[in-house]
Chains A and B, each alone.
Chain A
């Protein structure tokens, strides 16, 4: 037990990998923010819409109108501070809070990789990432350490491993493996990609991509951990993510994952990277190679920190399985779908038409969704029950004010999942205005007409 503890937690190892990780993470986040801003997405996604979809319990998190730009500026600035390791602790806390706030403003934009960034930056708050090749360490020699406890690096490996492995587990279902869905829909539409285009329409290619994709996700953490397979595994990481980048519009995520996978290499690689970097920055790398070993004193703070990390990882491991507490098909109800590394698993789209009925006179009319939602919001709303409910509540409030009397809200919804013919998602006879949002099962979701086996 003690030797295991030493091997995975307390042993001292080079701090260089963590420093490289910090620098690359901060830099990539900065460019992500710049890219997001540059594409005009702040305006488009957070300023122009008149209504925003909130996460349950976070209804108070809303865009800040003009100040939303300031929020992004703060987030981008803190990312730079993280990269250079200047007032690191404060910088990473600010980054975590601002980034998470941005993601909580509208769940329309939810992406697994944004969630990944949020929890990764949370984890980084507790890591000694500023004691090597960082301005903090440069400014005060007593804070510079060449060696750190191995848990700091292993925790990053564990988080990455969870992301990959759970993404692989999620693919172990009959649609993915036995029907090659949704790749069978997505790949043929990419016929115009150079070299690969012609192949993508072939059925065996679609099956091969499905199976190799699932196998990749499940195996890659182990292949990266094992020294002998590591270079090969890193090659796979590069090929896999470049391929996903070519095939799908997934923004910065592939690069982030490629860069993150570097944490698995041993310190020699990172020293090489820092030597190269030092030629530009001229911070004097040798200053940091001071042979000093960072040991956390056994204080209440340290134990609290460790406790937080244990709870954090327990949640990470258990949370994706919360869907088991809900009846019905996960892909259909999406109860417990988010925050579970279910990445690119479904081709799902829907259509939702809301009917407002005057509770007294019985007069009714349909809502034109364009009046309230952006096309992106409408698209996301139409197949996700929690969005439909929140929007129905908004409509109820809006029209009760206008109507000066109670109204009922019904929805006529059709949803297609992985190429199945569209069917009704929400019971059209239920007045959604009377239904409450909660973590309980939404009984007004009609059952899925087919079966998807697997995890």
Chain B
């Protein structure tokens, strides 16, 4: 039997050598006596995501929602211009904060459909008006998703009139009670759902998220990377920029902008979202300057073995470039309304777009994660 084994190995060696154009031994990356290996622990990565990024981000968001609620409590009995401005600021602060959790549509958030409930835009003003007069509405219905959340508040505090005075006057007229109670209902809905998601994360989901540290298509890392890329491509790139810009329709659709009634916030919200995506990529702890295991460090660990291009740098470079271009723009609404052809915004969009293949093709391929998991056989 030994002879057979030897014979086999020998014949394999001969057959395998015959192809490589005279090179006797396979060159290895680095020193041959320095065997490299990928020692990347996915569980450490998941712990960092859950404890230092996801849960703190939700906590901050819930805190900002509380701030929004209390600004509303001040506005409710005294609908002055001053209180409206304070309410608007609190709304924007919470809306920015939302951009840091919107991408985490997995587990509890996925179960309640948080993103759909909190930020479906453009909002449907007919539906909102109808709800306000009817009072018999049920905000938990899917059909009401386009009549609640941040976009509905956008309309109610920014879009009810031409000027702040005009808006404030609406809250001091006959419709006042109906308007106020609608805002209250919308805020309640947002707060309840968000607190529910945060509570689920803390109470159980965190542990199962971390425990699912395998490599199957349903493992946390694989699923989350899919959700992350999906968010970047569909919500950040297309939702906040591409669709209003008209890249999928041929003509600009400014009324599809996020925070359309606010007018000057859509680029701010986009930039928040982009920073959230990039910080998540780099494993930066929420609200701190420290960082931990991340997609970037995972790529670095894999790359050390592969000795290939530095994907981490390329991806960060592309995010930076996109941020630079978008930061130089006027608010998106002005870009779209003041330019017959919004060239600058298109150029900025192209930079945002360029990160998609880097994430969806290069990163995912390097990590051997299947994108949009397809349950079928391979070769």
Contacts and interface: CB of A to CB of B under 8 A. Distances in A.
B166 interface: no
A229 B242 CA distance: 63
B19 A173 contact: yes
Given A203-B37, A214-B12, A363-B250, A253 B368 contact: no
Given A218-B15, A350-B361, A201 B39 contact: yes
Residue of B308, B311, B369 most packed against chain A (CB within 10 A): B308
B365 A365 contact: no
Interface stretch (A56-64, A184-192, A384-392, A439-447): A184-192
B250 A351 contact: no
A375 B374 contact: yes
A178 B27 contact: yes
A140 B180 CA distance: 90
B361 A414 contact: yes
A310 to B, nearest CB: 28
Interface string A421-455: 11000000000000000000000000000000111
B368 A223 contact: no
A158 to B, nearest CB: 19
Contacts of B376: 41, 45, 109, 376
B379 interface: yes
A240 to B, nearest CB: 12
A202 B38 CA distance: 7
B31 to A, nearest CB: 11
Interface stretch (A244-252, A259-267, A286-294, A328-336): A244-252
B12 A211 contact: yes
Interface in B1-54: 1, 4-5, 7-9, 11-13, 15-16, 18-21, 23, 26-29, 35-39, 42
Contacts of B35: 202-204
Interface in A2-56: 39, 41, 44-45
Contact of B364 (A178, A222, A228, A349): A349
Given A185-B366, A189-B368, A419 B306 contact: yes
Contacts of A379: 371-372, 374
B361 A349 contact: yes
B12 A212 contact: yes
Interface in B339-379: 353, 356-358, 360-362, 364-369, 371-372, 374-379
A97 B27 CA distance: 48
Contacts of B219: 192
A174 interface: yes
Interface string A202-215: 11100100011011
A112 B378 CA distance: 9
A255 interface: no
Contacts of A128: none
B214 A343 contact: no
A178 B362 contact: no
A89 interface: no
Contacts of A414: 357, 361
Contacts of A232: 1, 4-5, 8
A213 to B, nearest CB: 10
Most buried by A among B9, B213, B361, B369: B361
Interface of A: 39, 41, 44-45, 109, 111-113, 168, 172-174, 177-178, 184-186, 188-192, 201-204, 207, 211-212, 214-216, 218-219, 222-223, 228-229, 232, 236, 248-253, 343-344, 347-351, 353, 358, 363-368, 375-376, 378-379, 382, 414-416, 419-422, 453-455
22 contacts: A111-B378, A113-B379, A173-B19, A185-B302, A191-B38, A202-B37, A203-B29, A207-B28, A211-B12, A218-B11, A219-B8, A222-B11, A232-B5, A349-B364, A351-B356, A365-B247, A365-B250, A366-B247, A375-B372, A375-B374, A378-B372, A422-B357
